[in-house]
């Protein structure tokens, strides 16, 4: 048909300069880019002519033989961000391609094919995972120098690793990784139950380490100083964090320590000298705060059965040191001195109904309140208390609100009202609040110096009223109102990008 139509059928897109055409292609997802560059000869030649525009970020699922090598050859010598998902059948050829191109790799991400892990009950595939795709053998083959490498992400959990002991026979990060030469490496994410060895020269320049494992053994903790001497940001997510010997002290000068752990030894507090770390985030450990502050800021946490709060606060002292705290407890007893330096606080609405701790927050700049959602399944569980009997600060089934004291927060600038991410097994809709309830909370219970708050944000919360005038009255107390259907972004986010290879 194109021949019958004559010269007028020549694609107008081919009249564009090749560089302009490639700039358009660059906005496509990588999978679509492959298809587009095979539409015609002109498009293919244009795509190959500008490797920096199109082939500096490559994704591969390693399911087609020689495909990864072909893609990397298109990049020529341009520094590349390489994200590879292994399949059991092509591990060897995929590794050969990766090693050949390590010299111009800027970011490297290695992961298992999640479908392969899900299907590991298949006898043939399980055998392949156990032999051909052994985590240790994969890492051992990364033996070429990586002079441009800036980030390394490993999501290579072995299917049957037993990480319940400090057994050195488990997979260990190779001491000669990249032949000890990765001078630009700054960000490392180990999501693969790896042991940290006694030495690894390639890691000496790393400043950001994320460690995701079943257990953080004592040996790994003690080896950090030697393997990661430049470490500043340390994020750990484990089930068990082992203790370190009494009197041991790390020489690292951390700027961030973030630990999410089910079983945590207080010796970690002293080992990393968390009193001096600028930003500390510790989750889900009953009593850790007593260890951290001791007699200087005494705290007693009494964990009850109620599932009512998710309280976090960020404290900043006179020299700029901040401390982020998270409590998973419905009953919190704090001395007033603990709250003097709180700058950011998230708290469940139920906290206001149970005690009057939060009456004086002189440094508070941002308050995030998770509104009570009575539709949550556990509110109606026979084991839970009758929360409908408790009055709220925004609304109540009983028709009355809590008789709480006013909160003195002279520096308050931002108020967030949000729905906590649901733990319900059933689909949940956003929560509706009456604006007059929000208005009453601001007017009666918040005492701030400014004429108005800078911002009032609703996340997953809708305003519903039969009196539209009440909605307009909110602007008597705030300059800007934002209503977002999504959950509240983490106000304690430290801005560390742990996965620079991730697409925005």
Question: Tens of pLDDT along the chain (504 residues)?
Answer: 344 444 455 455 566 666 676 667 666 666 666 666 666 777 777 666 666 566 777 888 877 777 777 777 777 778 888 888 887 777 888 888 899 889 989 999 998 765 554 444 444 444 444 444 577 888 888 989 999 999 999 988 655 444 444 443 478 899 999 999 999 999 999 987 888 999 999 999 999 999 988 888 899 999 999 999 999 999 888 888 888 888 889 999 988 888 877 777 778 878 988 777 777 776 544 444 444 444 333 333 322 222 233 444 454 444 444 555 444 333 344 445 556 667 777 777 766 655 455 677 888 888 888 887 655 433 444 334 444 444 567 765 445 555 567 788 999 999 998 876 544 334 444 677 888 888 888 988 899 999 999 999 988 888 877 777 878 888 999 999 998 887 777 655 556 666 666 543
Its domain, for residue 377, covers 301-320+335-491
Give the closest residue to 146 by CA, choosing from 75, 82, 202, 86: 202
* N- to C-terminal Cα separation, the chain: 41
* Cα separations in angstroms, 482 against 365, 473, 474: 18, 15, 12
For residue 66, being part of any structural domain is answered with no
- Dihedral sign from CA coordinates of 392, 342, 461, 413: positive
For residue 76, being part of any structural domain is answered with no
If one counts the domains in the chain, the total is 2
For residue 348, being part of any structural domain is answered with yes
Give the closest residue to 285 by CA, choosing from 268, 304, 262, 267: 262
pLDDT of residue 202: 95
For residue 382, being part of any structural domain is answered with yes
Using the 3D structure, point to which of 6, 28, 54 is the last residue of a domain. 54
Using the 3D structure, point to which of 28, 54, 80 is the last residue of a domain. 54
Residue with tokens 């302009």: 20
Whichever domain contains 22, its CATH number is 1.20.1280
C-alpha to C-alpha distance for 336 and 316, rounded to whole angstroms? 15
C-alpha to C-alpha distance for 56 and 53, rounded to whole angstroms? 7
- pTM recorded for the entire structure: 0.65
Beta partners for 241?
216, 264
Q: For the purposes of burial, counting CB atoms within 10 Å of the CB of 165, is it exposed (0-12), middle (13-18) or buried (19 or more)?
A: exposed
DSSP H or E run through 241: strand 233-241
81, 501 in Cβ contact below 8 A?
A: yes
For residue 258, being part of any structural domain is answered with no
Which CB contacts under 8 angstroms, 24+ apart, belong to 250-253?
Answer: 250/221, 250/224, 250/225, 251/225, 252/224, 252/225, 252/228
């Amino acid at each position: 048909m194109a021949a019958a139509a004559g010269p007028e059928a020549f694609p107008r897109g081919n009249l564009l300069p090749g560089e302009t055409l490639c700039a358009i292609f660059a906005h496509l997802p990588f999978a679509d880019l492959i298809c587009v560059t095979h539409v015609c000869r002109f498009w293919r030649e244009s795509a190959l002519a500008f490797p920096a525009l199109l082939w500096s970020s490559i994704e591969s699922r390693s399911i087609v033989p020689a495909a990864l090598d072909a893609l990397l050859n298109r990049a020529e010598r341009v520094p590349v961000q390489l994200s590879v998902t292994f399949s059991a059948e092509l591990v060897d050829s995929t590794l050969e391609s990766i090693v050949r191109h390590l010299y111009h790799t800027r970011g490297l991400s290695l992961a298992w094919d999640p479908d392969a892990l899900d299907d590991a009950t298949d006898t043939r595939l399980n055998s392949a995972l156990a032999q051909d795709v052994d985590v240790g053998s994969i890492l051992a083959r990364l033996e070429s120098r990586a002079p441009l490498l800036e980030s390394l992400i490993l999501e290579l959990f072995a299917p049957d690793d037993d990480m319940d002991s400090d057994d050195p026979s488990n997979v260990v990060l190779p001491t000669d990784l990249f032949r000890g030469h990765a001078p630009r490496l700054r960000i490392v994410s180990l999501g693969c139950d790896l042991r940290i060895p006694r030495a690894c020269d390639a890691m000496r320049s790393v400043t950001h380490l994320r460690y995701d494992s079943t257990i953080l053994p004592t040996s790994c903790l003690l080896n950090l100083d030697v393997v990661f001497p430049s470490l500043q940001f340390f994020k750990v997510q484990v089930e068990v964090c082992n203790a370190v010997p009494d009197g041991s002290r790390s020489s690292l000068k951390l700027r961030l320590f973030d630990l999410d752990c089910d079983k945590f030894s207080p010796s970690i507090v002293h080992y990393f000298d968390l009193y001096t770390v600028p930003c500390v985030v510790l989750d889900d450990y009953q009593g850790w705060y007593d260890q951290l502050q001791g007699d200087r800021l005494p705290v007693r946490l009494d964990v009850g059965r109620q599932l009512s709060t998710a309280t976090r606060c960020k404290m900043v002292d006179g020299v700029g040191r901040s401390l982020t705290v998270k409590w998973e407890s419905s009953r919190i007893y704090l001395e007033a001195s603990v709250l003097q330096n709180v700058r950011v606080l998230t708290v469940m609405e139920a906290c206001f109904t149970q005690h009057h701790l939060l009456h004086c927050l002189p440094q508070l700049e941002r308050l995030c309140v998770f509104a009570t959602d009575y539709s949550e399944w556990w509110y109606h569980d026979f084991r839970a208390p009758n929360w409908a009997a408790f009055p709220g600060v925004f609304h109540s089934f009983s028709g009355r609100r809590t008789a709480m004291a006013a909160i003195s927060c002279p520096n308050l600038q931002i108020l967030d009202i949000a729905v906590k991410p649901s733990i319900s097994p059933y689909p949940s809709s956003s929560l509706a609040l009456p604006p007059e309830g929000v208005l009453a909370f601001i007017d009666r219970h918040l005492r701030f110096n400014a004429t108005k708050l800078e911002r009032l944000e609703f996340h997953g919360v809708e305003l519903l009223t039969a009196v539209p005038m009440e909605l307009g009255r909110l602007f008597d107390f705030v300059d800007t109102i934002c209503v977002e259907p999504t959950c509240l972004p983490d106000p304690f986010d430290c801005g560390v990008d742990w996965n620079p290879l991730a697409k925005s």
